[in-house]
Amino acid sequence: MAPANDSDTFDIDGDETVHRMGYGAMRITGEAIIGRPEDEDSARDVLRRAVELGVDFVDTADSYGPGVSERLVGEALDDEDALVATKAGLLRTRDGDWLPHGDPDFLENQALCSLDRLGADSIDLLQLHRPDPDTPFEDSVHRLAELKDAGLVDHVGLSNVSVDQLETARDIVDVATVQNEYNVANRDHEDVLSACEDYDIGFIPYFPIGGGDLGEQREPLEAVADDHDATVRQVALAWLLDRSPVTLPIPGTSSVDHLESNVAATRLSLTDDDRERLA
């Protein structure tokens, strides 16, 4: 694993610089990520506060709401405020299921709907949300590449993929980012992170604090947090930033207070002893 550098920025696809601590906009929807939030004004306030704090990378998806998160992002933020990444390829049901749907025509329709909700001429970063076992992976990626060629998408990303799938996609289109589950307590996709380092691809670790379930890492996290007068959540985020120069954590929250605490993690520097305890 390559050592983290001192930079708090990363160049998406080598040409669009963003601060590495991003914001995940999944939680600004209704309960269970379905429908509208109880207070839409508060949701927009969180997004605007994120930008005020220097966050310029925001992640959302067609399936969050569905459509609700994208709409709120489009209403709250101007084009120059942040690079907005969205995702297509999951069908969200009212029963709460997340169904992979990678049919190329469906992906294109989702992208067109995303453009409308975001109020954008092109999608900054469109990610395939999850490979669909009923659709050839190459077909899904080819359609994203075609949308990029048509000028509807600036950059293409992937999510929930293996190294082999990343390699397959790279033969079709320049892959700007990969978004897989990864945190201090779950490092199953270490090989994908390593591949992203090799290719200078942004690695977006979703579920960055494991939903609070940090297993055997909780005790050392608490010890490091005590040493730095920080929260466990801040240490978990600082660990991700420290882990690799290509990581782009996207902690999500519907609370301005939690948002400010998350962003403050960028000022926490881990020591060699901290790294050993969290290894």
Give the position of tokens 């790279």: 170
Catalytic entry in 23, 64, 182, 206 = 64
Count Cα atoms within 13 angstroms, Cβ side, for 87: 32
Question: Can you point out the beta strands (E) in the chain?
Answer: 9-12, 16-19, 23-24, 57-59, 83-88, 90-92, 98-100, 123-128, 153-159, 175-181, 202-206
**175, 166 contact by CB (below 8 A):** yes
- Is 206 a residue of the active site? no
Q: Which of 78, 94, 83 is nearest to 32 (CA)?
A: 94
Cis-peptide, bond into residue 104, ω within 30° of zero: no
Give the position of tokens 């696809």: 13
Report how far residue 156's alpha carbon sits from residue 158's, in angstroms, rounded to the nearest whole number: 7
Helix/strand/coil (H, E, C) string of 141-203?
HHHHHHHHHCCCEEEEEEECCCHHHHHHHHCCCCEEEEEEECECCECCCHHHHHHHHHHCCEE
**63, 25 contact by CB (below 8 A):** no
Residues linked to residue 256 through DSSP beta bridges, in sequence order: none
Residues with a catalytic annotation lie at 64
